[in-house]
Structure 1
Amino acid sequence: MSLNKTLIAFSLGCSVLAGSTAWAADYPSKAIRMIVPYSAGGGADNAARIIAKALGDTLKQPIVIENKAGASGSIGATQVARAPADGYTLLYDASSFSINPVLRKLPYDPLKDFVGIAKVVSSPYLMVVPANSPYDSVKAYVDAAKAAPGKLTFASYGIGSPVHIVGELLKQETGVDIVHVPYKGGAPALVDVMSGVVDTYFANAASAMSYIRGGKLKALATTASKRSSDLPDVPTMEEQGVKMDVSEWKGIFAPAGTPEPVISKLSEAINTALKDPATIKQLNNLGMQVEESSPESFKAFITDELSKWDAVAKKNDIKLD
């Protein structure tokens, strides 16, 4: 390439970069749409609205929540994957984002069609049993399951749901033969666990905390790596000899191809918004812990999650398609 052509190519590259940077400096200049692929009023939606308010205040533009529920979150995710990569359509998704791809055929690739901006909150699952259950520890439950294969049960809010997969992980790590009982939602699952129809359930902290404190459920363990500050007397699974470090998480994504300066601006704004004490308190009241992450660390996290759940699905022969 001649010197003149090299200079021209360099100048064009600088112009594109300058244009992109200038455009990002003006971003956002209008409202941002955030797709929540779950029903209004649920745990994911409630947290999304708290975060959207704080993020909108930080960016000085409104964040408009749109609920697009269905197919464990994949309907809303598909819509975002196909949206213009301009930073004005975002996805607020949860643990299902990294579980759906290993269980079913999807019209998108979670790593190629999205850019992870930030992991925003997480909450542990709690292994709960009825208040009058004879099991006071994970070991007691596992020993009983081994003594009577195929007799004990665990509930979930649907085949292929995160709590179903966590139950399968328990089976994988302990070698027990327990029966999966799927429900059409978390609420009916909890009702049947409290009444003793089903032996156990991996409930998220937000949904189970009031029942534990009210004496209607007994928590045997938390699935996170550390004990919950809300339930300091409840040991972790690993403290009880079961290899498990799992939490329900939620994060924000953009369509692939969104300019890097926009991603950086959103990442910085999200982390700033999540430092607001009032926002932290609201999320803590939902049983969620605020996370701080970068696009790079969030991508590494998603990659690890996909690998982990793929191994669990294959070992336990779980496939929805």
Structure 2
Amino acid sequence: MTAHIPDPQLRVDDLDAKLSLKEERGKRRSRYTSRRHLYLRRFLRNKAAVAGVVLFGLLVVFALVGGVLTSYSYGDVDFANLTAAPSPEHLFGTNASGNDTYAQAVHGLGRSLIIAISVSLLTTLASAFIGAAAAYFGGVTERVILGVVHFLMVVPAFLILALVAQQARGSWWALIVVLTLFGWMYNARMVWSLGRSLREREYVQAARFMNVGSVRIVVRHLIPNIGSLFVVTFPLGVVATVQSETTLSFVGFGVQLPDVSLGTMLNDGAQSVSSAPWLFFFPAALVTSLTVSMAVIGDGVRDALDPSSRSGGRA
């Protein structure tokens, strides 16, 4: 009985194949990494966008740990200091009910951030899947989805938002649901228009030929190839949500007492802006800082992903 002796040449060929595979993977990883570095370099060269990131980070830190600078909660009442001006005890003063304005600003900013980020994230996900599905399936599915989109786009959304928010008695989670239901249509139509050109690409046709599921094609092939759109629309969605939530709360249809948001603080401060301006200017400064920071971040991301833009400097 003879022992089988492996051919040394086969071992060498197998080792060469493994090394070639590792080199190819390394090249792919390097290419993707260099692309991310390119986007990051272009973004960091945009001074306004970097300043927006710093400002937004400071606002998040203020909402998370700003309460340690005061012994008052947003619901505490100081009957000895009604509509008191800013002082070491009350950093932002107090309102007519004796609530500490600084504590309310910390809580209100946190509540507005939760609503804005949640709504922007949910609307981005909904518009991505619905728009890409309409573009991929076409036919009756496309016509039905576009019909719903166009109908919701012409509906007076603000009146419905105000009515539903009032029925929900100012619940912030109900506000998230309502703002999400009426906030995904415009982005979904943009995704649909971009997805129509992608559904005829070779990789989509190849996946379809290999009997890959339709949902998998939409999730794995269509949506990732228009991911740059979502990166840009997410911060802009935060801006739009902050403005919507502030407007609803300002006119009395958003977050209701005893809860507090920046919109409710603006509503309270607008009634006494001449006699107690701190009640209006402090929340107004926070709203302005939040919207401006997210707007310049969105512009910076858009310029970093756009090869024709020179805002971020030459790579």
Give the shorter-chain TM-score range. Answer: under 0.3
Structure exhibiting the larger radius of gyration computed from Cα positions? 2
Normalized against structure 1, the TM-score is what? Answer: 0.26
Normalized against structure 2, the TM-score is what? Answer: 0.26
Higher helix share: 2
Higher strand share: 1
